[in-house]
Amino acid sequence: MAAACFCRGLCSRQPAERGQFGPRQSKPAPFHNGCIAPGNGWDHNRLQSPLARPSVQGRHATAASLFPRFSLITMAGHSKWAQIKRTKAVVDARRGAVFTRLGREIMVAARAGADPAGNFQLRTAIEKAKAAGVPNANIDRAISKGSGQAGGEADRFEAVRYEGYGAGGVAVLVEAFTDNRNRTAAELRLAFGKNGGNLGEIGCVSYLFEQRSVVRLRPQALNEEQLLERLLALEEAGGPAVLSYSLEADGIDVQGAFADLEALQDGLRHQGLSVASWEHRWLAGSSCRLDDPETLRACLRLLDGLEELEDVRSVTANLEAEATLLEAVLGHPQD
């Protein structure tokens, strides 16, 4: 009887040349020459049984030789899953920070009352949280804490503002909710210092910004002239004055005085316009232009680092750069 080959049909020999591998065979035959490429760690002469085991390196090399596609798929799948897990961990961490930040904002707003219908600040915070995907259970829990129904945790947080300069002299204004001013200031100072900036005193850059009411409208089926007619009709009907507006690809921003946020979004709704969101926002009165890629990259790293801090509520800068330069820097962050 011809000696059977353990390759079981994985080699190029014909069945007649390989022989038959049967359960009644008394002595298993070795791998014949040519089934496995030499140099893969297996000793063809010493291997006499399928129970014989080569070294770990030999098993890996043989698996790669016998099952190249299976081996590649397995390793690629493992690497891909590892990458997915790392990416998911980063996304989850950032998402958790956003949820925490919005939860604090709801808690602080709920101090003035737990009913959103009679508390515009709370209603605004809830709308922001829903837009960010915060679960309703988290929102209800934050309202209970802020209104005192589930403890006085909201009393520990206070709204603070920090100011400083980024790389190239860019003015940076940071708003935060914190229960420990010293901790928050230390984290901000570290973020500024690591990215070529400096944390300054209160008032050092705030004069460059103005706080306004901003209402975001969903994309409308009307042109700019028709939009102007609606805004003029709003003022003629006794509504708040519109200071400016800007047309964006994903909507329209309408700006008004700081104190007119509630009246502005109500008036725009009465004009038949679809309101997506509303907020108080710091707007720069003058800009700082950056033309050097390295300086711009350092400034963007600073802004990203500040936004990732758990206590930070918002970050505003008067940064200005060419769109092509910005795209190039963002496309090569490690250069």
pLDDT in tens, 90-120: 455 566 777 888 888 888 888 888 888 888 8
Q: What is the pLDDT of residue 67?
A: 38
The angle that helices 68-109 and 136-147 make with each other, rounded to 10 degrees, is 30
Is residue 136 predicted with pLDDT exceeding 70? yes
257 near 242, Cβ under 8 Å?
A: no
Tell me the domains of the chain and their CATH numbers.
Answer: 1-66 (no CATH), 83-156 (1.10.10.200), 161-331 (3.30.70.980)
Is residue 334 predicted with pLDDT exceeding 90? no
CA of 153: how far to CAs of 104, 157, 179, in Å? Answer: 9, 8, 10
Is residue 150 predicted with pLDDT exceeding 60? yes
Whole-model pTM? 0.63
156 near 162, Cβ under 8 Å?
A: no
Tokens matching residue 89:
């961990």
d(CA 27, CA 19): 13
137 near 84, Cβ under 8 Å?
A: no
